[in-house]
């Protein structure tokens, strides 16, 4: 495994390259992914992770491309939750709600990056009260890249007092190449019989509903674009898919298949496994006019990439029927995501 480092002011980029020349590039800004170069069915390498030309443009970008959002990924209703009898108020940055821990969240911090064995580890310490969250939290994200073109991500965190936490990776993928245009012809399959209906601000209602008979049914493979324009509340609210699915047979700390994404022309396949209970699918419905210049010099358009965000459930602190995202002192939060790249 070859490791290269580059610097852009305070930002450090690490590139992990395997024996075949495939690689993953990671940034200390947001502990994020800025590029993944993998072969197509003819062996031609291309970058399949959406990202920007200037490493500094990842700071406070609307799409949150490739980064680690936190302290709580996804949305919390009205930015409020109650813990140990005390109500906490978080920043409001997504309509009436808090999303990804606020604009000052983990995704917009410079993490400390260092080599550990066969990977790169990023560390960040969040102070008690940062963005309104209780307790000091030490978080770490470790990336490993191997000769099988697997990018394994380990998230861990500890706290000095009771708090909430939900970490994921927010990479957007286009398996034809990051600048190839719409992903609506990509085929997606999800290991999920159920999903979380939301209100019109994308906050879960608390219901866990069956996908059968709805455009949310990806139990058998279908293109992202097949049903995306259906007259269905969830698709109207998000202008496309921006929803959370509940993974089948989830057991704490056990890896399970979450998703399979296939590209029709390149023959690339992405398999996703995780220990997380749910997966948020977001089809980049608001890219147009909101993304910085990309690595090839243009801005992205709507639906140019799809995010497959394995995570705890959105607004879980306000829904007792969702798996708990509470982290107490003396406990260790640990979750894994594996992005496995293959070809037909």
Q: Which residues are catalytic?
A: 170, 309
Distance CA 241, CA 141 (A): 27
Q: Under a CB-based contact definition with an 8 Å cutoff, are residues 141 and 153 in contact?
A: yes
By C-alpha distance, which of 14, 145, 12 is closest to 4? 14
Distance CA 38, CA 50 (A): 13
Residue whose entry in the numeric block shows the structure tokens 């990671």: 26
Cα distances (Å, whole numbers) of residue 102 to 96, 99, 260, 325: 12, 6, 30, 17
Residue whose entry in the numeric block shows the structure tokens 């509340």: 233
Residue 69 dihedral angles phi and psi, to the nearest 5°: -75, 150
Residue 58 dihedral angles phi and psi, to the nearest 5°: -70, -15
By C-alpha distance, which of 36, 34, 13, 14 is closest to 24? 36
Distance CA 45, CA 22 (A): 7
In whole angstroms, what separates CA 196 from the centre of its chain? Answer: 17
**Sheet with 194-195, edge to edge strand ranges:** 172-173, 306-311, 278-282, 242-246, 194-195, 209-210
Residue 274 pairs with which residues in a beta bridge? 256, 337
Q: Under a CB-based contact definition with an 8 Å cutoff, are residues 173 and 160 in contact?
A: no
Q: Under a CB-based contact definition with an 8 Å cutoff, are residues 338 and 193 in contact?
A: no
Residue 57 dihedral angles phi and psi, to the nearest 5°: -70, -10
By C-alpha distance, which of 137, 71, 77 is closest to 105? 71
Find the distance separating the first CA and the last CA of the chain, reported in whole Å.
25
């Amino acid at each position: 495994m070859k490791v290269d480092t580059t610097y852009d002011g305070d930002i450090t980029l690490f590139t992990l390259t395997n024996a075949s020349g495939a690689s993953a590039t990671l940034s200390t800004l947001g502990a994020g992914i800025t590029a993944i170069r993998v072969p197509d069915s003819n062996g031609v390498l291309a970058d399949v992770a959406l990202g920007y030309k200037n490493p500094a443009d990842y700071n406070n970008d609307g799409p949150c491309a490739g980064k680690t959002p936190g302290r709580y990924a996804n949305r919390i209703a009205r930015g409020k939750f109650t813990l140990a009898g005390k109500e906490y108020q978080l920043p409001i940055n997504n309509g009436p709600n808090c999303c990804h821990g606020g604009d000052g969240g983990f995704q917009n911090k410079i993490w400390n990056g260092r080599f550990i064995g066969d990977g790169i580890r990023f560390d960040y310490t969040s102070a008690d009260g940062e963005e309104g969250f209780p307790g000091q939290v030490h978080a770490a994200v470790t990336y490993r890249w191997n000769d099988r073109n697997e990018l394994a991500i380990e998230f861990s965190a500890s706290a000095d007092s009771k708090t909430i936490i939900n970490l994921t990776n927010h990479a957007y993928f286009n398996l034809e190449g990051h600048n190839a245009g719409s992903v609506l012809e990509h085929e997606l399959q999800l290991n999920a019989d159920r999903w979380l209906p939301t209100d019109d601000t994308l906050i879960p209602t608390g219901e866990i509903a069956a996908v059968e008979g709805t455009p949310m049914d990806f139990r058998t493979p279908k293109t992202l674009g097949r049903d995306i324009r259906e007259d269905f509340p969830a698709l109207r609210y998000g202008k496309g898919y921006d929803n959370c699915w509940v993974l089948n047979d989830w057991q704490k700390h056990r890896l399970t298949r979450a998703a399979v994404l296939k590209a029709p022309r390149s023959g690339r396949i992405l398999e996703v496994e995780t220990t997380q209970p749910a997966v948020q699918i977001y089809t980049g419905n608001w890219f147009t006019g909101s993304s910085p210049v990309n690595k090839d010099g243009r801005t992205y358009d709507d639906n140019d990439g799809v995010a497959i965000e394995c995570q705890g459930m959105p607004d879980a602190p306000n829904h007792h029927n969702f798996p708990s995202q509470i982290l107490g002192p003396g406990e260790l939060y640990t979750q894994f995501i594996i992005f496995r790249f293959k070809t037909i």
